[in-house]
Amino acid sequence: MTPRRTPADLVRAVPGPAFEISLDGRPLTALPGQSVAAALWAAGVLSWRTTRREGRPRGAFCGIGSCFDCLATINGRPNQRACLVPARPGDAITTQEGHGRAELGV
């Protein structure tokens, strides 16, 4: 059986040391250069938002910032496209429900 290779293995990338971020208070590991969405994917998280009307789970869809499926609340700011936001040490990501502005009563 062939060992499983990652994209980093294929290009012989040597990222810097891992750091910690959190999703809903749960600690996760991220690598320098990863987007928030990539770090969540690497941790096995596929959904971090629910839709407004039906509460359906959403995560990354296009991965390049063209759609809005990957919206997340990052460090208290709702509606951040997780595929475009670089993960930084200590980032606090929270599952976003609906439009992410419940406190505004919109």
Percent of the chain with pLDDT over 90: 51
Task: Give the pLDDT confidence score for residue 81 in this predicted structure.
Answer: 93
Q: Per-residue pLDDT tens for 12-47?
A: 878 899 999 999 999 999 999 999 999 999 999 998
Q: Model pTM greater than 0.85?
A: no
Q: Domain spanning 16-96: which CATH class is it, in words?
A: alpha beta
Q: Determine how β-strand 19-23 pairs with β-strand 26-30.
A: antiparallel
88 alpha carbon, distance to own chain's centre:
11
Task: Give the pLDDT confidence score for residue 51 in this predicted structure.
Answer: 82
Task: Give the pLDDT confidence score for residue 103 in this predicted structure.
Answer: 56
Burial 75-99 (b: 16+ CB within 10 A, else e): eeebebbbbebebeeebebbebeee
Domain boundaries defined on the chain:
16-96
Q: Could you tell me the maximum CA-CA distance found in the chain, to the nearest angstrom?
A: 55
Indicate the helix (H) or strand (E) that contains 23: strand 19-23
Q: What is the mean pLDDT of the chain?
A: 86
